[in-house]
Structure 1
């Protein structure tokens, strides 16, 4: 990689210099797109606009945008980092009390939102007074942007906060996962061979999977194809018409796809990789996908926001004979299975899954007690998930 840095935004800068007119990201619902130059320049303009409005390094800026504004979402994500600020991706389905709780905990200085929020019943202006730190509510993208589109980056250190990801709060109040610039990327910056092939996905942008999908496609020389609204029939038609080579699915979507009347007739031959994650997939559904896409690698995967840029995937050659397994960790990630006393157990014995990445672990933002309860002193994340390793080391 050139010597201008290892920030995620450095990858965007490189792509804009190298493939300025190639399409980086497409919204398939309304057939809009950004080239690398457009993405780079618009994020520079917005970053300058944020700084001009008074956003300082380390300030927290929430992104509260609907899926159909995905191009504004990814531009805002890059711009906030370029301004040296911290992104707070926010679930658009949260209630007003939940938003107030999260944004007060993060002490957000600004919210980037839209005047049209089909997934939300909350008007940010109505709750602004309940969030003392909140100064700016940006609803007009053009008005928030500066006229200067040249390269822009406020200096940040590897250990500086990049994002705060809030959990669903299913077992209590949501916790904010602190993500730093040196552990935000799943794939390191690189100089990819540009293919222009498509990678299709539809995960909400505020999720772990959605955030990973901002920069990962470009790092693999691919165009991101985003479908904000999902139907199985629409997905099948997209694959036929757009001819993507990669796709990402959650099991719920996979179940609908194999049940669609057109599943057995659709031309899915362009796909060579289909990753499945977020929950276990039924073995029968997995087998049906493999049978319909015999030349594709249709594999399980596993990741957690708390684990950092760590992922467990199934090697392609093992997919068919290890249905039900999510695979092996991608180095340098480590995993182990332990008993209630924290001792590592033998193969085939069920225990708690521990995960660890080198370097500084993630932690819960402003919650040292929860951090101590979830990470060991030597950096192992105690996931709370039950699992086992087989005799060959597959999870």
Structure 2
């Protein structure tokens, strides 16, 4: 147990005992034994059964609260429900969508995104979000592979996919959101505004109720395409139970933080509304499953931006009284280091959380210094686990800043060797994860399904270790590990050492091909505003922390943030291409 605890007498309860207390009878987070698709596991006994039931509960509980804010558009929970009702009815009656049909949602983080997603989910269709950064050819692949029958897109996406529509016979209809009123020659194309009007009009729609359809927790709810930076993305198929269990994992970890402090878990205050600044896409598992749906259940407000910009975010945080920000570590750093940060009132922030990429241990101490009352958080999850599997928050994170947290009671983790055999505590191997939040399978990919989904476990491809209390420490992606002359080099170890230098804002380590050694270590870094560093200085810094063979032979600098895909993962193939192979 770390000695430098952040609070007197902390922790007052162990991880195991806190998990047990939260899982006990009568708890909102109570666990029960169940058999799901032939696999025994723990499930959340009191979780809402479906995404639709969460929408109905939110509409009943706080209809007049703002739920979605985008620039000058403000949408209440009631207005959202009315828009969803009308779009779901049109999907059924006009567009012929039924249970199990795939409905794609492809657009920026506009208010129309949640309406389309929730309309499909409430109808029993399989909502299939896609990356709004994809090219026309990539969109064609995603639409074709999932057999999408209806796509709800914005104008930019339509321009990209229009020429591909001739190759998509299964795509019967395309609805354009935020359409400019242009006539469309293709009879398959129509305007979302012709069905529900613009966001300002939704509150005035008639209450027609949601379509009558039976939905169960094990019904298929979403296909989320994986965000791999190489190869064709795979469609991870999730049930309603899986999507909802992910957020109950988060709730458990957040409540566990309070128990570890010796505090009671407070009852929700109906007069207090929290607000999240959405800095990641809705189409990412984190955006949809860890922010959109939990905010619906809790009555939180979501404020979205057309494109993330830390300078533009500062006045939004002040004016909308944002309580939670985050995404990937680079977003947190950009806020913390922005030169105009002190010009704005950011005192409303209660939580700064992130995941999806390695983070420097220095980040948590910087958050606590600049926002002493905010709870920093980091977690681990993946598309195949519907986002959150573990969450490290509060004092646990302060004391274990390089950990992604201990799992809640519903989640099992194990470290395995290449043959799938469990490894001893503390040793590095491949992370396997089991729980009710795991996806069911990959869509139409039986071989990949057999490789990744094994008797309820997800074989993650992450190299990791577990400590004596079950805290997870990610080491690297198995496929990204470098091998220099037979020596394994974990990129995350070198990146963490780079982050220890006070001038480093962002860093990525890649392999440089070498004729004799196979690979050598290369790095690309972004410096913090106003900071300077040289390659020799950084190499000297690393030499004091790492074995010599792990020190990069070449370090490149850039002023702009490192290239990332829409989900925040660094595009390492792009960075590798910058380096010249060495003899």
Normalised TM-score (structure 1)? 0.90
Residue 262 to residue 4, structure 1, CA distance change in 2 (3 Å): closer
Pairing partner for 2:76 from 35, 38, 49: 35
| 1:108 paired to 2:148 | yes
Normalised TM-score (structure 2)? 0.62
| 1:167 paired to 2:210 | no
**Partner Cα separation in structure 1 for residue 415 and residue 277 of structure 2:** 33
Residue 142 to residue 381, structure 1, CA distance change in 2 (3 Å): same
Pairing partner for 1:46 from 79, 87, 92: 87
Partner deviation per Cα, 1:90-130 (whole Å, 9 max, x = no partner): 11111222111111111111111123x2xx58433322111
Partner of 1:9: 52
Q: Is the 8 A contact 2:295 2:301 kept in 1?
A: yes
Partner of 1:18: 61
Q: Is the 8 A contact 2:80 2:115 kept in 1?
A: yes
Partner of 1:201: 278
Mapping of residues 71-82 of structure 1, within 5 Å: 71-82=111-122
Partner of 2:107: 65
Give ranges in structure 1 of 5+ residues lacking alignment.
none
Residue 366 to residue 372, structure 1, CA distance change in 2 (3 Å): same
**Partner Cα separation in structure 2 for residue 290 and residue 181 of structure 1:** 36
Q: Is the 8 A contact 2:242 2:436 kept in 1?
A: no
**Partner Cα separation in structure 1 for residue 248 and residue 362 of structure 2:** 35
Residue 299 to residue 359, structure 1, CA distance change in 2 (3 Å): closer
C-alpha deviation, 1:310, in angstroms:
4.1
Partner of 1:288: 366
C-alpha deviation, 1:159, in angstroms:
2.5
| 1:91 paired to 2:169 | no
C-alpha deviation, 1:148, in angstroms:
5.3
- Secondary structure at the aligned position of 1:216 is classed as helix
Report the more deviating stretch, 359-368 or 125-134.
359-368
Q: Is the 8 A contact 2:417 2:430 kept in 1?
A: yes
| 1:219 paired to 2:260 | no
C-alpha deviation, 1:387, in angstroms:
1.0
Residue 152 to residue 222, structure 1, CA distance change in 2 (3 Å): same
Residue 8 to residue 224, structure 1, CA distance change in 2 (3 Å): same
Residue 192 to residue 43, structure 1, CA distance change in 2 (3 Å): farther
Q: Is the 8 A contact 2:106 2:130 kept in 1?
A: yes
Partner of 2:537: none
Q: Is the 8 A contact 1:202 1:226 kept in 2?
A: yes
Q: Is the 8 A contact 1:310 1:357 kept in 2?
A: no
C-alpha deviation, 1:83, in angstroms:
2.2
Report the more deviating stretch, 37-46 or 11-20.
11-20
- Secondary structure at the aligned position of 2:466 is classed as coil
Aligned residues: 386
**Partner Cα separation in structure 2 for residue 176 and residue 249 of structure 1:** 22
Partner of 1:384: 461
Partner of 1:156: 215
Residue 106 to residue 88, structure 1, CA distance change in 2 (3 Å): same
**Partner Cα separation in structure 1 for residue 415 and residue 342 of structure 2:** 40
Superposition CA RMSD, Å: 2.5
Partner of 2:332: 254
More strand by share: 2
Partner of 2:98: 56
Q: Is the 8 A contact 1:203 1:210 kept in 2?
A: yes
Q: Is the 8 A contact 2:236 2:441 kept in 1?
A: yes
Partner of 1:132: 169
Residue 238 to residue 361, structure 1, CA distance change in 2 (3 Å): closer
| 1:355 paired to 2:433 | yes
C-alpha deviation, 1:309, in angstroms:
5.7
Q: Is the 8 A contact 2:326 2:332 kept in 1?
A: no
- Secondary structure at the aligned position of 1:340 is classed as coil
Residue 148 to residue 21, structure 1, CA distance change in 2 (3 Å): closer
